[in-house]
Amino acid sequence: MYPLKFKNIYFEKIWGGRDFELFRDNMPEGNIGESWDIACHKNGTSVVANGEFEGMKLDELIEEKGAELIGSKISSDWFPLLIKLINAKESLSVQVHPDDEYGMKVEGEMGKTEVWYVVEAFEGANLVVGTKEGCTKEQFKAAIERGNLEPHMNKILVEKGDVYFVKSGLIHAIGEGVIIAEIQQNSDTTYRVYDYDRGRELHVEKALDVVDLSLIGKKSTGVKLEGEGFSKSYLCLCKDFSLELYDVSTCIKEVSDNERFYAFTCVEGEGKVKYKDGEVDINKGDSVMIPAALGEYELVGEMKLLKSYVPDVEKVKKEILMNVVK
């Protein structure tokens, strides 16, 4: 096995734009809102873009390689993550996602908890994370019926590098003027409650079933550790995924985990992933999958990378404490 890159799966959206052209040269025509970069879903499955398995779909490669690719603790029945980039030139709908229980019961797929990393923030860049303090479910429902939800939304201005955890049940929206790296559960279920009069379908009853107005979206500052030639920040840890930011100035050596795959998404700069049999380039906007059985590898260059994976939560907690408790 070797570090895998995949062809970008682009989706045109009415709120999309052309900002991926800042770091990509393979854009199709139209207002592109999403690029699915590591995906194994019925609505989009990645195709390998490099090496021996070039042209092979990710689900087929999982079937052939199993734990060697995804790890011994990751079920081959449901690929756990969906890694994408989002370009919003206009605001997305105000929406909410179900948890696993509701998602499986009603939609036949897992729920959707996600985390956002702001890759680029243009003038006026903003996000909606939750509602303003004191908003009740009755007020929320009445505002939806009136088509006047905006006064209740917790709208915040954001900067490049900001991170927000979006738990299932949290009302949210990506505002205009951003490129977001989104790491999420492998689900495409979204319940819209407000869509700026665009005429698309709303899902008010389902949204009211799953929304949790007690949830508050807060910027994640994480825990930062300094190393020689790099720093590493633990930004988000939950049962569904861990998100870490590597700020590499020269290099960092790592070892894969036989229990799980890793994914690296480059959000700034460029470099290489070196391993025993070769190397793979990684540039801004690229995602690379590290197979569970890869072994030793090295991240070399000047770049910022998001590392995402399905964690052993207790193991990661101990790793953090081992580095901060003296």
Instruction: Give catalytic status of residue 18 as yes or no.
Output: no
What mean pLDDT do residues 231-254 have?
97
Residue 219 is classified by DSSP as B
Instruction: Supply the CATH classification number for the domain 4-210.
Output: 2.60.120.10
* CA–centroid distance for 172 within its chain: 15
Longest dimension (CA), the chain: 61
What mean pLDDT do residues 117-136 have?
95
- Residue 326: is its pLDDT beyond 80? no
pLDDT for the residue numbered 322:
84
pLDDT tens profile 145-191: 888 888 999 999 999 999 999 999 999 999 999 999 999 999 999 99
DSSP 30-83: S-EEEEEEE-EETTEE-BB-SSTTTT-BHHHHHHHHTHHHH-TTS-TTS--EEE
pTM: predicted TM-score of the whole model, two decimal places: 0.96
223-324 is a CATH 2.60.120.10 domain: yes
Beta strand 278-283 with 40-41 is unpaired
What mean pLDDT do residues 241-247 have?
98
The yes-or-no answer to whether 4-210 and 223-324 have a common fold is yes
d(CA 99, CA 17): 30
pLDDT for the residue numbered 196:
87
The domain limits of the chain are: 4-210, 223-324
- Residue 31: is its pLDDT beyond 70? yes
- Residue 40: is its pLDDT beyond 70? yes
Beta strand 296-309 with 242-248 is antiparallel
pLDDT tens profile 246-289: 999 999 999 999 999 999 999 999 999 999 999 999 999 999 99
285: left (phi over 0), alpha (psi -120 to 50) or beta: left
Q: Residue 292 — very low, low, confident or very high, per pLDDT cuts 50/70/90?
A: very high
What does the block give as tokens for 44? 């989009």
d(CA 290, CA 265): 11
What mean pLDDT do residues 8-22 have?
97
- Residue 323: is its pLDDT beyond 80? no
Residue 38, classified by CB atoms within 10 Å of its CB into exposed (0-12), middle (13-18) or buried (19+), is buried
pLDDT above 70 as % of the chain: 100
What distances in angstroms separate CA 117 from CA 39, 165, 216, 250, one per listed residue? 18, 9, 17, 23
Of 18, 192, 200, 260, which residue is the catalytic one?
192
What mean pLDDT do residues 309-318 have?
95
pLDDT tens profile 88-97: 999 999 999 9
